Structures are given as C-alpha cells and as structure tokens.
Homo-oligomer: A and B are copies of this chain.
Amino acid sequence: MSEKSFDVLGLGNAIVDVIAHAEDDFLAAHALVKGAMTLIDEARAETLYAAMGPAQITSGGCAANTAACVASFGGRAAFIGKVKDDALGSIFAQNIHAFGVGFETRAATAGPATARSFIMVTPDGERTMNTYLGACQGLGPDDVSEEMVRGSAYIYLEGYLWDPPLAKVAFRKAARIAHAAGRKVALTLSDAFCVDRYRDEFVDLLRSRTIDILFANEHELRSLFGTAETEAAIAALRETDALGVITYGAKGAMTVTREETVAVPAFPIERLVDTTGAGDLFAGGFLFGLARGRSEKECLRLGALSAAEVIQHLGARPERSLKEFAEQEGLAV
C-alpha cells in the first residue's frame, strides 16, 4: 500500500463541537429545534455560547467523526475538510491527527473562523445542534486530492456538504474520481432537515448511481422519499441499486438491498449520556468492516458497537480504542 492508500476517506465539514448539558426548557426559551442541526450566523453563535451551560470543546464533524472511528479500529483513514488557521483550527487538527487520520487540507488564512457547532444535550441524551459553518464555506473542488480519492477503498460523503456553496462540487468531483478508480462511494443523509433542503438532489444521487451506499436513520429515510411510512421508504430505497444501511437508535440497525434484509439489535449500554456522533460512529464501524471484507451482519455489529461507545460519554469521538473494545466483545477485527 502506498502512503496515500486508505480504507476510508471522509469528506465533510470540519467542525469543533461546543457541547453542554441543557434542559428542555432551554431549547424552548431559545427556539431550538430539538434533535436537529440548524445553521446559525455568528451573532446567533455568540448569543447561544453566552447563554448555554458550562461547555466542553471536542472535535466533531460528521465525516471527521467517522474517519476517527475507522482509525480507532486500526483502519487507515483520511479526511478532507476546511478549518481556518486559528485556535479552534489547531484543536481540530491536533485531535484528528492524534487519531492517526490523514488530514492535509490547507487551512484558510483569511475569512471566517473555524466552524463550531453548539450542541445542547438534554437529560434524555438527545443532542440539538446549532452550527456556525465559518471556514467550511471555503471548501471547494481544489481541496479534493485526486491521489487520496484514488487510493481510498471507500469515499464517505456527508449530506451537510450541500450547505456550503462549493462543497457539493467537491463532493461530485470526489465521487467521479472514485468511480473512475473502481472505488465505492457512500453518502450519509446527515439530518432530516438537511434532506428537506436538498431532497431532489439526494434522490438524484441515488438514481444516477453517484452513490453506492446510503447511510440514514428512519427519519431521514422517510424525509428522502417523502413518506410517513418507513416501510414505504425502504421499498423505494430497494428500487435503487444502493446498499442501504438504516439505523433505528435503540431498536438496532439493518441493511437493505433489492433482494435482501439483514438486521442486528443495538449493542447494550449501561447509560445513555449523549447521542452526539452515534450515526457517524455507526457508519465508521460499518465501513471499517466492509473495507476488511466482513459480512454485512458483522459490519452492522461493528457499527452498533461503535455507536454504543460514543453515546455513553459527552462528545462525538471515541474515548477508548474501538479495536480493543471489539476484541473484548469477540468481534476481533
């Protein structure tokens, strides 16, 4: 394998998470949409930061979390995303490099600050995100390294890339290079409201076979196909050629293809603390398994184990080695 050879390459918004516990009353008082990711401007960011509870700073970003998860299993992972050369940008870079994830995207030297997501975790463990995109607005096709894409078995793209102006161009470029090199392209739908914003384009990505693997939770999937019935959404997904990976929170997860369905239960946990990153880590475990040639059932189990680790503490990055955790649980990889 060359230096530029990876199991998984994530492309996404490079975000520092500012995370705090909050009561449901706080969400109501600040008109926050529970469970959703809402985009905010700098003034709103400052207001929320001043009002929220004692915050911790952790590195985040959907695809970056997934890349860190793959690396925590001992997989080779890389990430493309845009920070600024400021203090939060250094924090993001230190964290992802310390996981062993390849991250070389040039930091912006001018323009808005490194992105941050203000995350309120309510007593039920649900997270509500408010994201100031900042430097992510500068991500564009020039940031996509052809060499990195060609060398990566799986390219993982987040739906949130539709929010900044040029990131979707980067997304399409990465997908094109990947397919030309015989690689697989995965998309996560990210958030049901994000799907609302870009439904037609996301459906087109599936129908045009721009993506090979779709990660979604049941809400996102129903939103994608404009139906209130999960079964109808799954039936619509089966009509495409994509491998669907659907997560149901505490009810487990499953894969669906035209012919087949494989399901696993959620991995048992002691205490739900914070669901931030659950979907990202699920995708990371699943993709690591795929890259190592494991069966779909085993991939689902690795995803479930990863999600279980991350929801038992604050923050979206694993706090223990997932390789060791998987070995302990008899899922040696």
Contact = CB atoms under 8 A, between A and B. Distances in A.
Contact of A55 (B53, B87, B88, B95): B95
Interface string A229-253: 0000000000000000000000000
Nearest to A113: B87
Interface in A51-88: 52-59, 68, 86-88
Contact of A94 (B49, B87, B270): B49
A289 interface: no
Contacts of A55: 91, 94-95, 98
Contacts of A216: none
A95 B54 CA distance: 4
Nearest to A89: B87
Contact of A98 (B53, B59, B87, B313): B53
Contacts of A219: none
Contacts of A315: 56
A58 B237 CA distance: 43
Contact of A56 (B20, B56, B87): B56
Interface string A314-327: 11010110000000
Contacts of A58: 56-57
B50 A54 contact: no
B320 A21 contact: yes
Contact of A50 (B91, B94, B320): B94
A99 interface: yes
A15 to B, nearest CB: 14
A230 B177 CA distance: 68
18 contacts: A20-B98, A21-B320, A49-B94, A50-B94, A50-B97, A53-B98, A54-B59, A54-B95, A54-B96, A54-B317, A55-B91, A55-B94, A55-B98, A57-B57, A57-B58, A87-B87, A270-B270, A314-B319
